[in-house]
Structure 1
Amino acid sequence: MGAPIQSMTGFASLEGEVNGFAYQFDARSVNGRSLDLRLRLPPGMERVEPELRRLVNTTFKRGSVSLSLSLKRGEVATRYTVNQVQLDAYIEAIQALAASGSVAAPRADGLLALKGVIETATEEEEASVDEATIAALGAELLAALEVNRREEGARIAPIILDQLSEMDRLRVEIDAHPERTIAAIKARFDRQLSDLLAGREGISPERLHQEAALMATRVDVREELDRLSAHIAASRELLEEGGPVGRKLDFLCQEFNRETNTICSKAPHHAITALGLSLKAVVEQMREQVQNLE
């Protein structure tokens, strides 16, 4: 098999700590007609969005991809500072009192205990996880998502191959059914006309056989069976080729459905109609699987 086949459904997640921030980075992918990206980033991280979009566009071809990043800062130490202006004001006032003999000279611990001299503050800082770090995490996350999508694609491909084999088996059974031969159709047509024209004259046996041959041509499904065979071969080649083959396989499913509907409508016998309906059911099952492929 050539390039890996990817499903459009997948999930990946990264978590850890960087620059004092705990992060949770999740990626989800579901079916989509084209490639679509939805981002949920913390405030201040908008500048990394173009790079994340570029990474998604170079990694995937189809699917609705959602990226969600959360950052949570760890516990922050309390910081103590001296309000120098307030301290100088206290010292000036105390020194004036000490000079007059009203109070004793101040001690350091007494000064620091005065209201407003020592201030506490929490170290406030904006999210300092830079764009390059987020982009690197995004690349790692998308690589994990790609692996997950490939694993799902590897599970789907054999299912589709089995369905193609079942379609081919039904095609062969329809082709070999004795009721679809021209001789069988003519015999059935002759019997029906004989019953209808019993006791009537004016229609020659040669004319009856001509009409029977014409009817046999109209209900013959040889072309449909041949096209089914060609479509089955083309589907197998696409799966062998690998890569983003979902759209092409989806188109072939439409062709399978068209040929199967024609076989059912032209079937000269109810047994062939039943086989056509079984074929139609397999085509629908295959289409459901193909809808998941990139």
Structure 2
Amino acid sequence: MIKSMTGYGLSKLDDKQIGLSVEIKTLNSKFLDAIVKLPREFSDKELEVRNMLSDKLIRGKVSITVTYAKKEDASPKVAINENLFGVYYHQLEKLANESGANQNDIFKLALQMPDVVVNELSDEDLEEEWKLLSESINEALGKCDAFRISEGSVLKQKLVQYIQNIQSWLNKVNDQDPKRAESIKEKISQKMSDLIGLENVDQNRFEQELIYYIEKLDISEEKVRLKSHLDYFLQVIESDQSQGKKLGFISQEIGREINTIGSKANDAVIQRYVVSMKEELEKIKEQLLNIL
């Protein structure tokens, strides 16, 4: 099963007392890179939220935004520390007078200063609301994971097609290889004939050198290994877990064999096939960047 690292999940809860919204967005990244935005009431739960993201999403660039609001008909659970508010207000007013700054926002700023607004939710209230929030987060995570699976199925189809294209070009390399060996033999014989004449060549020595030269250009092992890597890639892509990193390592081995075939081929036709295989491999590498 292939999972994309691109995902989206949204969960909403709306009852008589509170309104909750959890939005999760994910993009590709080598590691888990999470941006967590929680309401002040649940700021101490950030580590738990990060652990939930890590367990479900594994890796990727993740953004989770939680909005939380009390309903108008819900009894307020906050208090204003009026003495502290007065201290902040007068200090800000003094600074504004001394610097000639605008005083329009002093009230708002003083109200937002630390410990002015005191949360009076009991531990039981907070635990109950955290339970609701964690359920909403899990629901959003489930939707995000389903989105990733859906996107992954599309990526899987593309990857399978690219691998099949490489296999098709490899089959053409197999068809051309015997012709290549014969062509090399004819070229060398012609060169020898042009230089010194074949009648002046020790045929036994010539055959030995020719075999040695052709063996150096032999690509049989590379073709077998490339076929094996292609089969293994398709095997891994069908596994129960999404294994983007493993597929990345296999694609590196595929590239190594393709490059070796190209460097040893000494044949214009096979070189064209190699270029086509490299084009398909680049498409694979590009898609693998977004696979979990």
Same fold (TM over 0.5): yes
Q: Hey, what does 1:135 align to over in structure 2? A: 134
Q: Distance in 2 between matches of 1:7 and 1:126?
A: 43
Given residue 137 of structure 1, which amino acid in structure 2 is its aligned partner?
A: S
**1:186 is matched with which residue?**
185
Matching residue within 10, 15, 19 for 1:13 = 10
Number of equivalent positions: 246
CA contact 1:11–1:27 (8 Å) conserved in 2? yes
Alpha-carbon separation, structure 2, partners of 1:267 and 1:42 = 64
Aligned residue for 1:289?
287
RMSD: 2.6
Unaligned runs of 5+ in 2: 77-117
In structure 1, distance between residues paired with 2:256 and 2:75: 73
Structure 2 Cα separation of the partners of residues 283 and 78 of structure 1: 62
**Mind listing any 5+ residue stretches in structure 1 that lack a counterpart?**
80-123
Out of 26, 30, 35, the position equivalent to 2:32 is 35
- 1:85-100 aligned at under 5 Å gives the runs none
> C-alpha separation between the residues in 2 aligned to 1:28 and 1:185?
57
Separation (CA, whole Å) in 2 of partners of 1:286 and 1:78: 57
Q: 1: distance between equivalents of 2:61 and 2:274?
A: 35
Aligned 1:143-158 pairs, distance under 5 A? 143-158=142-157
207-216 vs 264-273, greater mean Cα deviation:
207-216
Do the aligned partners of 1:51 and 1:135 also contact (CA within 8 Å) in 2? no
Structure number with the higher helix fraction is: 2
- Residue 62 of structure 1 corresponds to 59
Task: State TM-score, norm by structure 2.
Answer: 0.76
- In the alignment, structure 1 residue 53 sits paired with structure 2 residue 50: yes
Question: Taking structure 1 as reference, are residues 46 and 10 closer, same or farther at Cα in structure 2, changes over 3 Å only?
Answer: same
Q: Max radius of gyration: which structure? A: 1
3-state SS, counterpart of residue 71 of structure 1: strand
Q: What is the TM-score normalised by the length of structure 1?
A: 0.75
Tell me the equivalent position of 2:211: 213
**CA 1:178–1:139: 2 relative to 1, 3 Å:** closer
Deviations 1:177-202 (A, max 9, x none): 1565433321222223333x146996
Q: CA deviation at 1:247?
A: 0.9
Q: Residue 173 of structure 1: CA displacement?
A: 0.6
Counterpart Cα distance in 1 of 2:180 and 2:260: 17
Q: Which of 238, 258, 261 pairs up with 2:259? A: 261
In 2, Cα distance between equivalents of 1:205 and 1:169 = 39
Identity among equivalent positions (%) equals 26
Question: Contact (CA 8 Å) 2:17, 2:73: kept in 1 or not?
Answer: no
